């Protein structure tokens, strides 16, 4: 497992070190669906609200703010913050992209479900890694790898995704994508395992969660431009937990393997 982690991170780091300039993010401009480079430096900001599971595997939902900030340079390089992820593309290429990412994952603590709440708290995590992406015409593919560096879940994640962008009238676009995430044993045990102490406190059965592909997701992302400056971004994601994640008592007995995320944000391009 450690060999897999090292290999994935080394490949991504090689892609980043082979580029020049400011490191920057997403495969597509979420505002326009266009590929870099763009004709001028632009700054876009957005604010909105999302509804998502209280924690991974929960059947209870909560609201959360959406913050979106993206700055793109004339070279085609750009930096972006979306939700809880800061990432950047360092390659001024229309086809290949690569760069670093930093993601914050909130703690699992003081949740509505009494039994899960009685389990040991999972501390907040800071996941550090990188991504590499390929884009051809309206098709795109991406791989990203990240390791917790803050002793939250202590785990490693590898996400594979691919999608298609459909241009729509009046400066609108729709991106449809599928993704799946591999999680190592540390991550799986932190969120889906039930230790002997947790079992005693929560009255859930003891459970060991092994490494494996933990989910598959389908995402629809739509953007609309009302004026040259004002726009709207909307996202809908359906996720199915798989394998040891779906079979965990945290999910199978107390939660749901079907997860939904929906959100919208108003955007402004300066």
The 10s digit of each residue's pLDDT in 64-117 is: 999 999 998 887 788 999 999 999 999 988 788 999 999 999 999 999 999 999
Sequence-distant contacts of 60-69: CB under 8 A, at least 24 apart:
60/111, 60/112, 60/113, 61/260, 66/263, 66/264, 66/265, 68/30, 68/44, 68/233, 68/265, 68/267, 69/43, 69/44, 69/45
Q: How far apart are CA 73 and CA 133, in angstroms?
A: 19
* Domains identified in the chain, total number: 1
Least confident of 3-17, 108-122, 188-202: 3-17
- Report the candidate in 101, 128, 242, 237 with the shortest Cα–Cα distance to residue 182: 242
> How confident is the prediction for the chain on average, in pLDDT?
87
Average pLDDT over residues 177-203: 97
**CATH code of the domain in which 240 resides:** 2.40.160.40
Q: Name the nearest CA neighbour of 91 among 144, 10, 18, 35.
A: 18
Give the mean model confidence (pLDDT) for residues 25-30. 47
Segment 113-171, tens digit of pLDDT = 999 999 999 999 999 999 999 989 899 999 999 999 999 999 999 999 999 999 988 78
Determine the average pLDDT of the residues in 206-225: 97
Is the confidence at residue 11, as pLDDT, over 80?
Answer: no
- Which whole-number Å values give the CA distances from 226 to 31, 49, 172, 230, 231, in the listed order? 11, 19, 9, 6, 5
Instruction: Show the domain range for 171.
Output: 2-269
Band of residue 29 on the pLDDT scale cut at 50, 70, 90? low
Q: Is the pLDDT score of 28 beyond 90?
A: no
Q: Report yes or no on whether pTM surpasses 0.95.
A: no
């Amino acid at each position: 497992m450690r060999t897999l982690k090292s290999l994935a991170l080394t490949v991504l780091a090689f892609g980043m070190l082979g580029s020049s300039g400011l490191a920057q993010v997403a495969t597509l401009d979420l505002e326009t669906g266009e590929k870099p480079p763009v004709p001028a430096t632009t700054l876009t900001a957005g604010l909105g609200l999302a509804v998502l599971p209280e924690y991974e595997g929960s059947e209870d939902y909560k609201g959360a703010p959406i913050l979106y900030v993206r700055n793109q340079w004339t070279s085609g390089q750009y930096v972006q913050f979306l939700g809880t992820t800061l990432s950047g593309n360092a390659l001024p290429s229309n086809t290949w992209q690569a760069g670093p990412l930093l993601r914050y994952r909130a703690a699992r603590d003081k949740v509505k479900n009494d039994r899960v709440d009685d389990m040991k708290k999972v501390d907040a995590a800071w996941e550090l890694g990188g991504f590499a992406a390929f884009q051809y015409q309206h098709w795109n593919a991406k791989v990203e790898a990240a390791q917790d560096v803050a002793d939250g879940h202590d785990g490693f994640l590898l996400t594979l995704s691919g999608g298609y962008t459909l241009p729509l009238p009046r400066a609108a676009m729709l991106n449809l994508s599928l993704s799946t995430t591999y999680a190592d044993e540390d991550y799986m045990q932190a969120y889906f395992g039930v230790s002997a102490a947790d079992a005693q406190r929560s009255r859930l059965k003891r459970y060991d969660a092994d490494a494996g592909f933990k989910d598959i997701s389908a995402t629809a992302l739509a953007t609309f431009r009302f004026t040259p400056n004002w726009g709207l971004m909307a996202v809908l994601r359906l996720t199915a937990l798989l394998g040891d994640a779906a079979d965990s008592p945290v999910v199978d007995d107390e939660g749901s393997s079907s997860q939904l995320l929906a959100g919208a944000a108003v955007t402004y391009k300066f």
